[in-house]
Structure 1
Amino acid sequence: MITYPVLTEPVKIGVTAPSAGLHFDQYSLLERAVERMINKGYKVEIGNTCWTQFKGKSAPAKVRAAELNLMLHDDTIQFIFPPWGGELLIEILEYVDFDLKKPKWILGYSDTSVLLLAMTIKTGLATAHGVNLVDLRGIRSDSTTAMWEEVLHTKPGEEVIQYPSEKYQLYWQHNIETDWIYHLTEPTKWKTITNEPMYIKGRLLGGCIDVIRHLIGTPYGDVRNFQNQFIQNEPIIWYFENCELNVTDLRRSLVQMKLAGWFDNCSGILFGRSGANEKMGDYHVMDVYLELAEELNIPIAYDIDCGHMPPQLTFVNGAYAEVRVYHTGGSMVLQKFI
């Protein structure tokens, strides 16, 4: 069975940097985000790792893991919310204490998805792939981003529905901030590779493919055991977002996942929008999607709200989901905490 954390008021957030911290000139990003959380009624505890960044990480692996472990085992903290992702979270996994006495939410994306996926696969604890804390520093949030709160407040046995955004951000413009932080200018359109409607059911798993692929062959990426132990061999719906991979690297990663058995009993795959997916000669990302769909004989949707071209849905790893994609509109992701 999947274990779902339950938030009870007042909610205390633990902010730690298991991957990247902030340089001095970035401190205001986190300070403003924390202020927003406090104004919304949350209590916030900020770890020391958030304020340091050296050699590609916030601190040495054991230091990052120790701070994370303290927050994971602090009964007053209900929710772990890293400031953002980074590059080297995988270094801490061997030092993380996954034996939690009290379930709590972990929310984030990018490199944070390594921790999210490892936690769910290894323990059956639901984790949330969604907005980073620093992206909530704006005066407002668009309706898609704002759903993180409703999702995390959903109780076991209940369900929550999310819909495609109206518009998405094509380019990051960190030097020009809006009340929403994001610059949502391009019309959103979820697509299927067959141009036909898609309806799939299963348990959600996924994250940033650049980094979660490195869990293959480790104790933190044993998908088969997760299926057997926690979801009674129900089918999986995989969702992926590509941060930096060109199409051949994406293809290699997906083939490795297939060979490792990650796609055994898979009901469908969702790919997020990506500013990467750089073609190699005449080899395009659509070729990658089509080849994978033919090999696995499953439906595939793409350009969904997930990843580094915000906004994004809040996907709960381990949750039962029903995904509908229509070209006439009305697409949706329903998640049930069962």
Structure 2
Amino acid sequence: MSSIRYPVLKEGAMIGVTAPSSGAEERIHPWLEEARERLAISGFGVQFGETVWTQNKAKSAPAAKRAEEFNAMVQAADVDLIIPPWGGELLIEMVDQVDYDRLPCKWVMGYSDLSVLLLAITLKTGIATAHGTNFVDLRGEVTDETTAMWQAVLSTETGGAIVQHSSSSYLKEWPKEAGKAVFNLTEPTMWSAILPDGLEPRGSIRLQGRLLGGCIDVIRHLIGTPYGDVAAFREVHIPGEKLLWYLENCELVTTDVRRSLVQMKLAGWFERCSGIMFGRSPANRPVENYMIEDVYADLADELGLPIIYDIDCGHVPPQLTLINGAFAEVEVEAGRGTVKQYFT
């Protein structure tokens, strides 16, 4: 029996924006105001923390200040949801200063470097967290159907379920100037799969398990720390159940992705696992002749598990809202994907 706790987003919620990783340089402060105005149209309030407006030496502020502001904002009775402005580089500096024992059952959503905090919260507390869009990407006049699902997903009641579908197209290049939509989605989306022993999938691929994941570049650094104890999470919060990992790569070349996955395997992160999903990536640069598909094939063979890749997750928008701790059923057929998450 799962002991995962799920927050519920209500209408008219107050969004707290704090920067546990990177803040915003002055030139993009208008983006934050645009996002606040756009969310106000949908009935949301927005509170900005001080760290949002500053950025120096690869971080918004010293670790102690970032942790203090996050702890205060997440515990504030008048804040219902935390969405940082975006990711960054050095969130891990403050991960040991979060007051996990006093965290309320409240949504925290983001991706990239924020996935360190998201995964740590769920592993330490059993509170579900949301891997999804960041604050500045909510500033457009229109939002694509995939990204816009964040509200419906976070509003799902405990005991309920929510279905998301793969996007029809994705972003190839970030536009120099945002139009009505922040993302210029031009490339056709195609989810793919690799089976053990190099077998080609026939028909549909179906996976199910408890979701955990994030940006592989950064969550790998939780291995061996008190904030990356996957074995304890399985035993305490989802006894007897299997995991379904989702991972995405921001900057790593293929050999570094491979080293990271082997480390995760050796650390036991892939024990009692039903499969692994990988998001589209702007990186994955091959080393010599070692392609990312070779990395996936090697992993599938070693684990004896199916691998799904190029899903809507991570640094090549749009992306699904994936809930750490939720039970998911995933189906891929003819390049299209469906993810059904159960908040049980």
> Which residue matches 1:163?
165
Cα distance, 1:179 vs structure 2:
1.1
Determine which of 302, 327, 332 is the counterpart of 2:334. Answer: 327
Q: What secondary structure sits across from 2:56 in the alignment?
A: coil
The residue number in structure 1 matching 2:62 is 60
Say if 2:235 is the partner of 1:235: no
State the shift of 1:108 in Å: 0.6
Alpha-carbon spacing, 1:328–1:292, altered in 2? closer, same or farther (3 Å): closer
Q: How does 1:188-227 map to 2 (within 5 A)?
A: 188-194=189-195, 195-196=200-201, 197-227=204-234
Whole-angstrom distance in 1 between the partners of 2:88 and 2:111: 10
Distance 1:151 1:253, change over 3 A: same
Q: Could you tell me how far apart the structure 2 residues matched to 1:203 and 1:67 are?
A: 30
In structure 2, the partner of 1:153 is 155
Deviations 1:257-301 (A, max 9, x none): 000000000100000001100001111111100000000000100
In 1, the alpha carbon distance for the partners of 2:85 and 2:102 equals 22
Equivalent pair of 1:75/1:102 in contact (CA under 8 Å): no
Aligned to 1:299: 306
Residues 72 and 100 in structure 1, CA contact (< 8 A), matched pair in contact too: no
- 1:76 CA displacement: 1.5
Q: 2: distance between equivalents of 1:127 and 1:191?
A: 26
Displacement after TM superposition at 1:180 (Å): 1.2
1:299 maps to amino acid: P
Q: What is the aligned-residue RMSD (CA, Å)? A: 1.0
Whole-angstrom distance in 2 between the partners of 1:2 and 1:141 = 30
Q: Summarize the alignment of residues 233-272 of structure 1 with structure 2, pairs less than 5 Å apart.
A: 233-272=240-279
Deviation at 1:101, TM superposition (A): 5.4
Structure 2 distance, partners of 1:144, 1:178, is 18
Q: Secondary structure at the match of 2:305?
A: coil
4+ runs of 1 displaced by more than 3 Å?
A: none
Which digits, 9 at most, give the CA deviation of each residue in 1:75-95, with x for residues without a partner? Answer: 211100101000000000111
Instruction: Indicate which of 140, 143, 150 corresponds to 1:141.
Output: 143
Q: Which residue matches 1:46?
A: 48
Name the amino acid aligned to 2:340: L
1:79-90 to 2 correspondences below 5 Å: 79-90=81-92
1:185 corresponds to 2:191? no
Cα contact 2:191–2:335 (8 A) shared by 1: no
Query: Given residue 170 of structure 2, which amino acid in structure 1 is its aligned partner?
Result: Y
Which residues in structure 2 correspond to 1:91-130 (within 5 Å)? 91-100=93-102, 102-130=104-132
Secondary structure, aligned partner of 2:79? coil
- Helix, strand or coil: the match of 1:255? helix
Separation in 1, partners of 2:108, 2:308: 26
**Aligned positions, number:** 336
The answer as to whether partners of 2:192 and 2:335 remain within 8 angstroms in 1 is no
Q: Distance in 2 between matches of 1:11 and 1:87?
A: 29
Distance 1:69 1:171 in 2: 36
In structure 2, distance between residues paired with 1:287 and 1:8 = 44
CA shift, 1:139, in A, is: 0.2
- SS of the aligned residue for 1:8 comes to coil
Shift of 1:328: 6.0
| Runs of 5+ consecutive residues of structure 2 not aligned to the other structure | none
- State the Cα distance separating 1:232 from its structure 2 match: 1.1
- Residue among 32, 35, 38 paired with 2:34: 32
Alpha-carbon distance between aligned partners in 2 of 1:101 and 1:113, rounded to the nearest angstrom: 17
Q: Tell me how far apart the structure 2 counterparts of residues 220 and 60 of structure 1 sit (CA, whole Å).
A: 20
**C-alpha distance in 2, partners of 1:4/1:14?**
18
Looking at structure 2, the residues matched to 180 and 90 of structure 1 have their Cα atoms a distance apart, in angstroms, of 32
* Residue in structure 2 matched with residue 337 of structure 1 by the alignment: 343
- Distance in 2 (CA, whole Å) between partners of 1:122 and 1:102 is 13
Q: C-alpha separation between the residues in 2 aligned to 1:328 and 1:13? A: 35
* CA distance in structure 2 between the aligned counterparts of 1:108 and 1:101, rounded to whole angstroms: 17
CA contact (8 A) 2:249 2:279 kept: yes
Q: Which moved more, 1:139-148 or 1:91-100?
A: 91-100
- In 1, Cα distance between equivalents of 2:303 and 2:340: 24
3-state SS, counterpart of residue 153 of structure 2 = helix
Give the match's secondary structure for 2:31: helix
Query: Quick check: 2:24–2:52 contact (8 Å CA) kept in 1?
Result: yes
| TM-score normalised by structure 1 residue count | 0.98
* 2:267 maps to amino acid: A
